[in-house]
Chains A and B, each alone.
Chain A
Amino acid sequence: EAQVTQNPRYLITVTGKKLTVTCSQNMNHEYMSWYRQDPGLGLRQIYYSMNVEVTDKGDVPEGYKVSRKEKRNFPLILESPSPNQTSLYFCASSTRDRGLVAEAFFGQGTRLTVV
């Protein structure tokens, strides 16, 4: 079954304690991205990756890091989490259509609370 798997689904942590949210896809997509979803703001892109070892900032990259060492995995790293990073996070991998980023397949989401 084609899917994007994120872990963990729920996480409560303390300010400053490094954490990693994992993301894995089994569709051989080149393009992957991370979003955060906050009430009234929709989804905002944090980082994206066009392919292995190619990553770039999205709209809200501050406080986050990513890596893309393998095609299937795209972990999101919070080196020193702060309460304003409390949010619902989604990983997505996308197909391409006529060279353009097209349909996104989303993970189930990770609800992060930083206290």
Chain B
Amino acid sequence: AQSVTQPDIHITVSEGASLELRCNYSYGATPYLFWYVQSPGQGLQLLLKYFSGDTLVQGIKGFEAEFKRSQSSFNLRKPSVHWSDAAEYFCAVGARSSASKIIFGSGTRLSIRP
């Protein structure tokens, strides 16, 4: 079955520290991938996306993610987090064989320690 797993429900990092949020997927076809961020009381905003080409993609707010086909992963990274990065982060996957379907992970809540 198609699925997206974000194994970390909640992560706390210190301001200025590096961040990596994990995302693993299980899909029959070649996927395309997204990371979204949801600030409290807000809708979701796209951080970055991967369709093809360079497996390291840059997004907004200083985030990047790397697609690793061999590991079925698309982890989100940021070298130095800011207090304003506290939010919930969702990985999402689409399948090229089913153009109308995007599946979201269950989310990772990020807290920032001052």
- The answer to whether A103 touches B49, judged by C-beta atoms less than 8 angstroms apart, is yes
Chain B residue at minimum C-beta to C-beta distance from A3: B43
Chain A-chain B contacts (Cβ-Cβ < 8 Å), number = 61
- B102 contacts A108, CB within 8 Å? no
Interface residue stretch chosen among B11-19, B65-73, B74-82, B103-111: B103-111
The answer to whether A4 and B100 touch across the interface, beta carbons within 8 angstroms, is no
Asked whether any CB of chain A lies closer than 8 Å to the CB of B90, the reply is yes
Complex interface residues of chain A between 36 and 95 (CB less than 8 A to chain B): 40-45, 48, 50, 56, 90, 92, 94
Main secondary structure of the interface of B (DSSP, over half): strand
Contacts A/B (CB < 8 Å), 21 sampled: A4-B43, A31-B100, A40-B9, A42-B105, A45-B102, A48-B100, A56-B100, A90-B44, A92-B44, A97-B51, A100-B32, A101-B99, A101-B102, A102-B49, A102-B94, A103-B49, A104-B102, A106-B44, A108-B41, A109-B42, A109-B43
The 4 closest A-B pairs by CB, nearest first: A106-B43, A42-B106, A43-B104, A42-B104
Q: Taking beta carbons and an 8 Å cutoff, which residues of A are in contact with B? A: 4, 31, 35, 40-45, 48, 50, 56, 90, 92, 94, 97-104, 106-109
Interface residues of B (CB under 8 A from A): 4, 6, 9, 32, 34, 36, 41-46, 49, 51, 90, 94, 96, 99-102, 104-107
